[in-house]
Amino acid sequence: MSARIAGVIGWPVGHSLSPRIHGYWLRSLKIDAAYAALPAPPEDFSRAIEGLRRAGFAGLNVTLPHKHAAFAIAETLDDAARATGAVNLLLFRHGRVEGRNTDVEGLRASLVEEFGADIVNGAIAVVLGAGGAARAAAVALDRLGAKEIRFANRNPGRARTLAADLQPHLKAALVAIPWTEGTSAIEDAVLLVNATSAGMQGGPALDVSLETLPSGAAVYDVVYTPLETGLVRRAKARGLRAATGLGMLLNQAAPSFAAFYGVAPSITPELRHALAQALSP
Ligand code: NDP
C-alpha cells in the first residue's frame, strides 16, 4: 500500500496542534504516512476538498471556519454530525465523502477521564455558549445521561436556536436561559462547561461567577490556550474539580487517526507532556 496522507484544513490553521498530535502518533507507531496543515479560505473550501480528494488524501480534519461547510459537502453523516450540524472529520472512501463529528466523542471521553462516567448521569449541566463547541457539548452530555442541559449565551437567540435544533435528536431536556441568569442556573448543576471562546489567550476573560456552583460540582473549559484558563484557576481556588480542553482535543484526534491510518493510537503521558510544553509560554 502506498503511504497515506491526511491533514487539517482551516483558515487560519498555523496554530493547530493537530499536526503535532498526528505526527507524534505516526512516529511512535512507525507508520509511513504524512499529516499536513492546509490553509484554505472559505471561498476556496469546496474546491480545495475536491482537489485533495482527487490527489489521494485519505481524509481531513476540519477546523474553524469550515465545520458547517464540511457538513454541507458530506454525502454521508454519522449521528454526531447529524445532531450537531457540524463535521470535523471528512473521509474519502469508497468513492464517497463521509462526514463525522469526533468533537462529541472527544468531549465525552475527556469528561469521563477527568470526572468519571457518572458525572452528569441523571443530573443537570450548564453550558456557556451556543456555537459549534456548545452543540458538541449538548450531544456529549446527552450521551452521558444528563437529565437537563441549560444553555446560556451572550446572544440569547443563538441559545434558543441551539435548543430547538438539537432537542429532536436528544433525550435530555434542553433549556435556553438568559446569560444574566447563569449564576442562579448553576445553583443545582453538577457540571459547568465553558463552550465559549472567552478566556482564550489574548482574548477577553470569561465574565461568569462560580460562587453559586455547589461544592461537589465540576468545571470543564473547552478552551486550552492557555493551558490553565482563568476559569479553571478560579474553580480550583474554590476547591472544585476542573479541567481544560486539551483532553477533548486529544480524544477527538484519536478516532480521526484511526480512520485515516487504520491503527488506534494511545494518548500517552508523553504526548500530553509534549503538548503542554508546546502551549507553555
Ligand atoms: P463559535 O464561533 O461557533 O462560538 C463562539 C461562542 O463563544 C459563541 O457562543 C459566542 O457567543 C461565545 N463568545 C465569544 N466571545 C465571548 C465573550 N467575550 N463572552 C461570552 N461569550 C463569548 O466557536 P466554537 O464553538 O467552534 O469554539 C468555541 C471555543 O471552543 C473556541 O475557543 C475553540 O477553540 C474551542 N474548541 C475546543 C475544542 C477542543 O478540542 N478542546 C474543540 C472545538 C472548539 P455569541 O453567540 O454571543 O457571539
| Tens digits of residue pLDDT in 207-246 | 999 999 999 999 999 999 999 999 999 999 999 999 999 9
Q: Check if the beta carbon of residue 13 is closer than 8 Å to that of residue 63.
A: yes
* β-strand pairing of 148-153 with 124-128: parallel
- Furthest C-alpha separation in the chain: 58
Alpha-carbon distance values, 142 to 3, 100, 115, 167 (Å): 38, 18, 16, 10
**Hey, whose CA ends up nearest to atom 3 of ligand 1?**
131
Does ligand 1 have an atom closer than 6 angstroms to the CB of 196?
A: yes
Pocket test for ligand 1, best of 196, 246, 275 (most atoms within 8 A of CB): 196
Q: Taking CA 31 as the corner, what is the angle to CA 27 and CA 32, rounded to the nearest 5 degrees? A: 105
Does ligand 1 have an atom closer than 6 angstroms to the CB of 129?
A: yes
C-alpha cell at 44: 476556496
d(CA 120, CA 137): 12
* β-strand pairing of 148-153 with 4-10: unpaired
Among 30, 67, 147, 236, the active-site one is 67
Q: Report whether pLDDT(281) > 90.
A: no
Average pLDDT (178-203) is 93
**Hey, whose CA ends up nearest to atom 44 of ligand 1?**
133
Which residues make Cβ contacts (< 8 Å) with residue 3, sequence separation at least 6? 32, 33, 34
Q: How confident is the model at residue 107 (pLDDT cuts 50, 70, 90)?
A: very high
Q: What pLDDT does 2 receive?
A: 61
d(CA 209, CA 229): 14
* β-strand pairing of 173-178 with 191-194: unpaired
Say which amino acid occupies 160. R
Q: What pLDDT does 3 receive?
A: 73
Does ligand 1 have an atom closer than 6 angstroms to the CB of 153?
A: yes
Does ligand 1 have an atom closer than 6 angstroms to the CB of 16?
A: no
CA end-to-end span of the chain, whole Å?
41
Q: Hey, which residues does 77 pair with through a beta bridge?
A: 99
Active site residue 30: no
- Percentages helix, strand, coil for the chain, rounded to the nearest 5? 40, 20, 35
Tell me the residue ranges of DSSP E strands in 132-254: 148-153, 173-178, 191-194, 218-221, 241-244
d(CA 8, CA 29): 20
In terms of pTM, does the model score above 0.95?
yes
Distance from Cα 79 to the centre of ligand 1, integer Å: 22
**Hey, whose CA ends up nearest to atom 13 of ligand 1?**
196
Q: What is the dihedral sign for C-alpha 161, 164, 168, 173?
A: positive
- Whether the ω angle into residue 226 lies within 30 degrees of 0, i.e. cis, is yes
Q: What pLDDT does 13 receive?
A: 95
Does ligand 1 have an atom closer than 6 angstroms to the CB of 169?
A: no
Q: What pLDDT does 182 receive?
A: 83
**By C-alpha distance, which of 110, 105, 127 is closest to 195?**
127
Q: Which atom of ligand 1 is nearest to the CA of 203?
A: 18
Look-up of cell digits 454521508: 76
